[in-house]
Each structure stands twice: as C-alpha cells, then as structure tokens.
A = this chain, B = another copy of it.
Amino acid sequence: MWVTSSRSAQTSMGRVGLAGVTFLSGAGVGAFLSHLWRNRCGKEEEDRPGLLSRVPVIPVPGLPAIQASELTVSPGGSGAVMKYGFPSLANIKTRESYITSYDPRTRTASWVIERLNPTSLTGPSNRKFCDFKEDDSVHVFHRATNDDYRGSGFDRGHLAAAANHKWSQKAMDDTFYLSNVAPQNPNLNQNTWNNLEKLCRSLTKRYLNVYVCTGPLYLPSKEDDGKLYVRYQVIGQNHVAVPTHFFKVLILEQADGRGVELRSYVLPNQPIDDKVPLERFLVPIETIERASGLLFVPNIMKRTSSLQAIK
C-alpha cells in the first residue's frame, strides 16, 4: 500500500484492513514469512524482487527542513526520539539512548525507540565496560534477571542496539538494562538480526535521521485442529516471555524535507539463513500495528502530513 496523505492513508488502511486480517488468519505472519524465505528460489521471489527499489521519493512540501541543531545536541536524546510520537503510552521510560514502553506481563519491552545519525554512531564508548543489569525501576515481580537467561538457550538480545550509541558511554550502558532485552535465538541474534542492525546504521549515510522502533511480537499460528493459537515459551523463575517474532519499524527522514519513508520488518525468532536478503522480511506497517496492538502511522501523520510506506 502507498500512504501518501493523511486522508488517503486512512482510506487505504481501511481498504486493506480485511486483507491484513485474512493474511494473519491464514497461518500467522511467522508461517507466512518462513514460507516466503523457504521458497526464495520459487515464484514468490519473482513476484517480490527488490521491494525497496519500488519506493519512490515523493516531495513533501509541508515538511519543514530539519535544523542542523537537531544533530548536535544529545544525539539519541529523548526530545529528539519522540518527534514522531509513541506507538503506545503505557509504562514509558526515558533513557539516555532510547525511550521504551515496558510490558510487565511479558517482562520485556513493548517497544523501544532510538534515533540514529552519524553523530550517535561515533564516539569512544566501549561495550567491554557494559554489563547486562536488572532494571530497578521495574517492580521485582515483573523484572527479568540475568539468572532467568542463564542456561535458557536464548541470548539476551538487545532491542536498542549497543553499537548504535557510541556517542556516550552512559547511552551505551543504558542499552544493557534487561528491560531493553528479550530472549532471542542465538543464531538469529548473531547473524540476520545483527545484519538488520547494521543496515539501520548504514542508512544514516543516506538519511538525515533514522528512527528505529524495535519490539517483540507474539504471533498466532494454525494448529492441527484448524484453530489459531498464540504459543510462546517463558524462561527462568520470572517467566520472561520468548517472543515468536521481532519487529523493527524504520522512520527514515530525508534531508531538506524531501520526505519521510517507512520500512517495517518482521523476523521470526529462529535461525535464519543469512543469505536471505533482508528485504524478504519487509511487511506492511499495518501487519505490525494489528499484531502488536501499537499504532505508528497516526502519530507520524500528525507530524509529517505525508508519508511513504512499503506495502
């Protein structure tokens, strides 16, 4: 779908709404995605070549040019990160490098937003000075601990990535709160997920600012009885939820107010052959909005009055 203005956005989303639901109902995004990349030599690949090449840059007259001052003060600071609003308003925590909404039931974040640009990516910080740590601001009943992860078979997967925040040791340290972490398949964490994080950083060469919103998903899949079930493991004494999938929503600001572009990815929390191009995990933003209970587009529209999204 193309979202090109506030009014047409609502119309488009209404129109594709049922399709989005049907898509999810069929087998769940996870099964859909697995199917997609397992068949990457088949017809689907022919049908979906170079999705990114289909994203034109549409001039947005109404969008004011970004001021240089936004680049020089507190690269990942909260004032800057909230520019496009929050996808939900529960349990918001402001950190040096990101803003997050914590989900006390799953013991992990609902989402984490950070802003990347060349300034945020450079600096003397070193992750050897960082240790994963409990988030004292979360009630002890709802807090993940390092013990929960020990022996679980899952990595402590960063949501806001440490390497995105070299601009300040404190900013990097803050990414090591376990509230910014979710149980992640080690193969995924160390390969395809890492590649996606690198892609986000590399996009700072082409875009003025790269806003990255990352979070867990708990997607349903069809079981033998023909019904849809959400099923996810919980680990440790505190029952930390293991997401079935992860999303990343990228809000890409072009220089000189030439437009705002949206890319949204969903990756299953399982090993992925890292030869599969990341484009294969692009999904309509509506898919993430429906599955997560979050809303991105209405907030972004308030700020931009225009938006390009990949279907």
Known interface pairs A88-B104, A104-B88, A239-B220. Does A290 touch B233 (Cβ–Cβ under 8 Å)? Answer: no
* A276 close to B (CB within 8 Å): no
CB distance from A174 to the nearest CB of B (A): 23
The distance in angstroms between the C-alpha atoms of A18 and B293, with both chains bound, is 32
* A295 close to B (CB within 8 Å): yes
Partner pick for A232 among B14, B230, B237, CB 8 A cutoff: B230
CB distance from A264 to the nearest CB of B (A): 14
Partner pick for A88 among B88, B90, B238, CB 8 A cutoff: B90
Query: Which residues of B sit under 8 angstroms from A290, Cβ to Cβ?
Result: 141-142, 239
* A131 close to B (CB within 8 Å): no
**Chain B minimum-CB-distance residue to A286:** B141
Number of chain A residues close to chain B: CB under 8 A: 42
Known interface pairs A142-B293, A286-B141, A293-B104. Does A234 touch B239 (Cβ–Cβ under 8 Å)? Answer: no
CB distance from A298 to the nearest CB of B (A): 8
Which parts of A268-298 form the interface with B (CB within 8 Å)?
286, 289-295
Which of A21-29, A165-173, A205-213 lies on the face that meets chain B? A21-29
Interface of A (DSSP majority class): mixed
* A227 close to B (CB within 8 Å): yes
Partner pick for A231 among B89, B230, B289, CB 8 A cutoff: B230
Query: Which residues of B sit under 8 angstroms from A291, Cβ to Cβ?
Result: 105
User: Once the chains bind, are A139 and B234 in contact (CB under 8 Å)?
Assistant: no
CB distance from A213 to the nearest CB of B (A): 16
Tallying the copies of this chain within the complex gives 2
Question: What does the 1/0 interface line of A14-45 toward B look like (CB < 8 Å)?
Answer: 10011001101100000000000000000000
User: Once the chains bind, are B90 and A237 in contact (CB under 8 Å)?
Assistant: no
Question: Top 9 closest A-B pairs, CB basis?
Answer: A105-B293, A90-B90, A104-B293, A231-B231, A21-B237, A141-B290, A220-B234, A228-B234, A229-B233
Question: What does the 1/0 interface line of A232-248 toward B look like (CB < 8 Å)?
Answer: 11110111010000000
Query: Which residues of B sit under 8 angstroms from A91, Cβ to Cβ?
Result: 89-90
* A134 close to B (CB within 8 Å): no
The distance in angstroms between the C-alpha atoms of A200 and B291, with both chains bound, is 35
* A140 close to B (CB within 8 Å): yes
User: Once the chains bind, are A230 and B241 in contact (CB under 8 Å)?
Assistant: yes
User: Once the chains bind, are A295 and B141 in contact (CB under 8 Å)?
Assistant: yes
User: Once the chains bind, are A140 and B17 in contact (CB under 8 Å)?
Assistant: yes
The distance in angstroms between the C-alpha atoms of A281 and B55, with both chains bound, is 56
The distance in angstroms between the C-alpha atoms of A237 and B227, with both chains bound, is 12
Question: What does the 1/0 interface line of A138-155 toward B look like (CB < 8 Å)?
Answer: 011110000000000000
* A103 close to B (CB within 8 Å): yes
